[in-house]
A and B are shown apart, each in its own frame.
Chain A
Amino acid sequence: MKKYNILLSILFAFVLNLNGLSQCGNLMDVCHGKLDDARFIKSWPIQLPEQESGEPLPQVSFKMPLSSGTTYKIFACNAEEYPGEVIISIRNHNDDLVITSYMVEQQRHLPIIKFPVAMSGIYTFSFYFEGGKEGCAIGVVSSVD
């Protein structure tokens, strides 16, 4: 565990540097424990402005192939200096909504999603911030054995 904490400290520092997200604060502290023993596959920087009146909700989407037989661990880390809390939604190749990280009825965020994929395909990961607030985050896709 200690090994992973050290490694993740290094690698998330690089992500912040490479993506120019240093202004979002120290996401490393927020995020490093979530990967745990999973194998990192992909990450995306997410920085969105506050929603303006009459304008659509700011969001950003990425596509990624997911393979059947693999269990994916999907999560995001918010920059604490920003008010927005990120929400992930995942759609399959038919644009069917598979899941979101926000339980509307319970009004709570899911910190981690484990997704054992049974249908291979290209999935769309969309990110936006609750209530259209300004926010900064990193979305991470990893796999677990």
Chain B
Amino acid sequence: MPLLPLLAGVVGMLLPLSQRRLAFGLAVGALGASALISIGLLLGAVQAGGEAAPVVVNFTWLSFGGSALKLGFVLNPLTAVMIAMVSFVALLIFIFSHGYMHDDRAYARFFAFLSLFCAGMLGLCVANSLVLLFLAWEIVGVSSYLLIGFWHEKPSAAAAAKKAFLVTKLGDLGFLVGILWLYGQTGTQLLFDDGFGVLEDAQLQSLRAATGVFFGMNLAGVLALLIFCGAIGKSGQFPLHVWLPDAMEGPTPVSALIHAATMVAAGVFLVARTYPLFAADPMALDVVAWVGSFTALLAATIAVAQRDIKRILAYSTVSQLGFMMLGLAVGGVAVGMFHLITHAFFKALLFLGAGSVIHGSHHQQDIFKMGGLRGPMKTTFVTYLVGTAALAGVVPFAGFWSKDEILLSAWHQHAYGPFALTMVASFLTAFYMTRQVALVFFGANRNVDEHGHAHHAHESPLSMTAPLMILAVFAAGIGLVGTPWANLFGHFLEPRAEHAEANLGFMAVATVVALAGIGAGWALYGRLAPKSAGDDPLARVQPLYRWLEHRWYFDELYATTVVRLLRILAQLAELIDALLDLAVMAISGGLRALAQAFFWTDEHLVRPAARLLAAAARVGGGALSRLQTGRVQRSLSAVTFGATVLLGLLLLVMFAR
């Protein structure tokens, strides 16, 4: 199934740019077929029930030295839910892109990249081997690099693409160490393998038995945290969250695809996939819970003070991913994944809605320069409202059910710290979404150019609004498959686990918090409808507002620490070279002094030699002087230096024993 988009991507890249219709047809056709297959697989899995053993196909990829590296595919409820969601949401985004990217020169290439991205994404969902998962993971990374930097004429887009690639790679480093270590320890990197996979009891037991590896954690926990490093990078968790908002430089459908439904969710999915490793050590889960909840709060606070409509959504995504991580940590796979699925629908809806707004208001992205769009953009407005209600957690929209389950689980697990953080975060979520809706859709039109001419917004074409409407239906209703009264979703993913009972009091509290956020947002922005473009009532709260506006100064912090450190190290190499030069000069100076002494005492021997040397130097001098002979001496001294150090080291070690 991932092969279809892969083929479409490869063929699409070879097509000339003028073959627009063919490129589009190919991409949508391939993904449509994938979507049909995966929905079929989901239905089959539902029929078989959550108790059925996972369907596993393994094969040997290569073998060396008596051990084999196997790859494989797995189909279990987790996979089935994920592939169905990914292919379905991606299909809608493809259709939306047709309208959005219609005027772009490289339209055909865009769809090739999108297909490639989906191939990687689906591949990583069905992989039954950590190496195959990592391969797909990297394909996703590379194609997102290409997509974010798609408008590479814009320097900021190219920079954002590079940043995304490098920052996520930093997380992948830990992930790769985890895979290598796991493979070295157990001799396998298959997830399920007839009882011998790393997620099955025999291996888990041996990993759990290796205790005290790192701060008293067992090996399973340490490996889980290394894998979590990859998830932190991909899912934009603190402290690697800095790439995600910058990645908004890509075309908006890309933002929707990468930042709502799929790529960022890949990190959450990875944790869900390898959950038995995390569950083997409570400390690993604690780390996930704290990282998740802190990220949720951090990103929510930053979102409050942003002005770019897509950036707000980006920080909101970071925040919601934090919720999912917390859900995994305190409630298990089903709780985290439920929020992932609901979020995928309503956040894709919001991003595409934002794309429609941007498209309709002449590529204006500053929410303080919009306003009053509820009139001209009725469909967009209504669907956006649905997405907002879902994100803010209003009963009975999708986000309410999934978020409520996370908070309830945190409470039951006595994780009061993370619970408090996310409670505040969900208040802020309702607040900043209301702020956004009020500024964009209500009040007067503030989208005026410097001459005072107002830009009049227009509704987007059907190929853009139709996906919005379909997504809106799901954003409103998908939560109903996981209500506490009939938790179909939870029983499907985790048939044996206990699921939280309905708790009406708790729901009431959550609703009050959400309504409080909405009320506060409306009170500040709904009636004020600031006339001039720079008026944010919150800006009066200084210096807090500036602190939030500058995103807690994380970029600046990294620029002054990590980046500078690397630069210093790189320059250190040059500095040491210079020092070596100095040493060489000192030595040659000493030698020269010695030669002087010889010259005075042994004039008659030295003089003829010197005359000979002088003659030689005259002949070769012209050429040699231009050859920077000093640096040759340095090279030679480096060799001697190295030999001396190595010899000294060996002899030292030998005699020290």
Chain A partners chain B? no
Question: Interface residues, chain B, CB within 8 Å of chain A?
Answer: none
